[in-house]
Amino acid sequence: MKPIQESALSFRDIEAAAARLKGTSLKALFGADARRAEAFTIRAPYLTLDLSRQRIDAGALAALKAWAEERDVAGGRDRMFAGEIVNATEGRAARHVALRGDGGPAEVAEGRARMRALAEAFHAKQVIGGAGVALESILHIGIGGSDLGPRLVFDALRPLKRAELRFASNIDGADFDDAIDGLDPKKTLVIVVSKTFTTLETLANAKAARAWIEAAVGKENASKHFAAVSAAPERAKDWAPAERIFPFWDWVGGRYSLWSAVGLSCEIALKDEAFGRMLAGAAAMDAHFKSAPFEANAPMLAAAVQAWNREGLGRASYALVPYARRLELLAAWAQQLEMESNGKRVDRDGRVLPRPSSVVTWGAAGTNAQHSFFQMLHQGVEEIPVEFVLVKDAGGFGRTPLLANALAQAQALMLGRSEEEAFAQMRAGGMDEGQARALAPHRAFPGDRASTMAALDDLKPESLGALLAFFEHRTVAQAFLAGINPFDQFGVELGKEMASKLIPALEGDASVDDAATAAWVARLTR
């Protein structure tokens, strides 16, 4: 395959800036600009984004802006908002933004009204199950984009919980067993969520749910316990009564679908109109992304910095660390969003990319993460940029030490501690010289490690919506910078196809071509 022609003359400027800044310490950048902490911090709806501890300067930003202009990132964004076909390989628009603002098609408003009506009926105890009693709990079945968003939102907004909500996603039956543990099937509404309604895991869990409900209320009454959400509503007919099938559309990508009826379980299980407020917060971020100039545009700048770290400086991964227990699932959600969207090797026209553009997204909540992988972030050989997410007005006990720890980690990553300082500190503590000399390299921190600090104003539905929309837009903007399509995901297909052939092989009904897999089939069936 022909390699991509690097039309991006301006990428040479990125390379030049990267070469220059690789030899410049973050401390020196702060030393050279007394206003740096403010100059590289921008404000977006509900969010303050501080990029001052990234290895960038005005020259690098100018190069990134020129690159974004050459790649027409703003044009791509505008085409996405206008509902044009931006997902060319599947011939689809990507209109998730139409789900949360004004101006979407009429069926969006109709769908929202139906979601609200079901939520109201549920809480008015008018959704009656097969045993003649009102349903009180929800079991959400779905996987990937049909699972991670609602799971994160429910966890993040748990203080607004008004109904028990459980999730089953994995094909491993243990997941289903755990999800229904303690739930009464006579009082449970099962919401089956699948864009395609062909997904193996989801159909298997839905089948298990049906058996569970049927055993409690009888076969003829089971459908009273089911609702379905799908972009292929005709396939959902066997699973839920027509009035409980909630459509969404092929112009909503799975990992961008939280804002559609995929969020039905959150609409029902959260009070205070949380779901609608989340849409409003996301819409505020949409307006910012659409209109703010590059220098003041949080998703644009954050995308440029991601691309800078990956394509300019060669950093293959970053750690996403929310200092908020309630945002613990953020990394798992962002992992699908970013890696399924941008984990590509060819550009929009099928040409091989000149360099890797996708970043490995991983992470966990702080402070737990400090007691796990921060050792490597501080003292490992490679630099791994960190993205801290804080909640300014978090509430609850522990706020001050939580925030102090987040600030301290970013500070330690940047400032480090030299061998001499480590030596002097040990000597001051009374250690003998030889031992202090021997230990100094182990107790030194190289520092000069980049991080971003993103602070949410609070953890209300509006701010959560804005945060998730920020990540979506950053992902898409980064894809447009790299020239790739962030809306398809053919990379998940091959393994699925092979698994469907290996199921009969493991059941003894088919042979296997390759020796390594054949050996495992033999070992597992012996």
- Contact footprint for ligand F6P (CB under 6 A): 143-146, 194-196, 199, 202, 254-255, 340, 489, 492
Q: Which of 338, 340, 462, 472 is catalytic?
A: 340
Q: Which is nearer to ligand F6P, 129 or 144 (CB)?
A: 144
CB of 253: closest distance to ligand F6P in angstroms? 7
| Of 22, 125, 496, 501, catalytic | 496
State the burial class of residue 447 (Cβ atoms within 10 Å of its Cβ: 0-12, 13-18, 19+): middle
Per DSSP, the three-state class of 154 is helix
Looking up tokens 């996603």, which residue turns up?
A: 169
Residue 416 and residue 446 in contact, taking contact as beta carbons nearer than 8 Å = yes
The residues pairing with 229 across neighbouring beta strands, listed in sequence order, are 193, 246
CA–CA gap between residue 113 and residue 473 (Å, rounded): 26
Q: How far is the CB of 235 from ligand F6P (least distance, A)?
A: 10
Q: How many CA atoms lie within 13 A of 466 on its CB side?
A: 25
Compare residues 195 and 210 and give the one whose CB is closer to ligand F6P: 195
CB-based burial label for 490 (10 Å; 0-12, 13-18, 19+): exposed
Q: CA-to-CA distance for 317 and 253, rounded, in angstroms?
A: 24
**Which two three-digit tokens encode residue 469?**
């929309």
Task: State the nearest-atom distance from the C-beta of 231 to ligand F6P, in Å.
Answer: 8
| Cβ proximity to ligand F6P, 254 vs 322, nearer residue | 254
Query: In the bound complex, what is the minimum distance in angstroms from residue 69's beta carbon to ligand F6P?
Result: 31
What is the smallest separation between the CB atom of 284 and ligand F6P, expressed in angstroms? Answer: 25
Min separation Cβ 165 and ligand F6P, Å = 18
Rg of the Cα atoms in the chain:
25
Indicate the residue among 194 and 309 with the shorter CB distance to ligand F6P: 194
Q: Within 13 Å of residue 273, how many CA atoms lie on the same side as its CB?
A: 8
243 is written with which tokens? 């009035």
Question: In this structure, are residues 452 and 302 in contact, taking their beta carbons and an 8 Å threshold?
Answer: yes
Report, in Å, the least distance between residue 115 CB and ligand F6P.
17
Residue 4 vs 141, nearer CB to ligand F6P: 141
Active site residue 340: yes
Annotated active-site residue 496? The verdict is yes
Of 340 and 347, which has the nearer Cβ to ligand F6P?
A: 340
Minimal CA–CA distance to 141: which of 212, 194, 182, 215?
194
With helix as H, strand as E and coil as C, how does 41-93 read? EEEECCEEEECCCCCCCHHHHHHHHHHHHHCCHHHHHHHHHCCCCCEHHHCEC
Assigned token pair, 148: 């991670």
Total Cβ atoms within 10 A of residue 91: 8
Please say if 271 is a catalytic residue.
no
As measured in angstroms, the least distance from the Cβ of 243 to ligand F6P is 21
Cβ proximity to ligand F6P, 221 vs 335, nearer residue: 335
Among 371, 382, 420, 433, the active-site one is: 371
Of 278, 277, 249, 284, whose CA–CA distance to 473 is shortest? Answer: 284
C-beta closer to ligand F6P: residue 293 or 495:
495
Nearer to ligand F6P, 67 or 248 (CB): 248
Closest CB to ligand F6P among residues 255, 348: 255
Q: Minimum distance from CB of 452 to ligand F6P (Å)?
A: 27
Question: For residue 454, what are the contacts with CB-CB under 8 A and spacing of at least 6?
Answer: 47, 48, 49, 50, 387, 388, 389, 390, 467, 470
Shortest spacing between CB 255 and ligand F6P, in angstroms? 5
d(CA 357, CA 464): 27
Cα separation, 103 vs 81, whole angstroms: 10
Secondary structure of residue 445 in the 3-state scheme: strand
Give, in order, the Cα–Cα distances in Å from 235 to each of 138, 159, 242.
Answer: 22, 35, 11
Which residues are identified as catalytic?
340, 371, 496
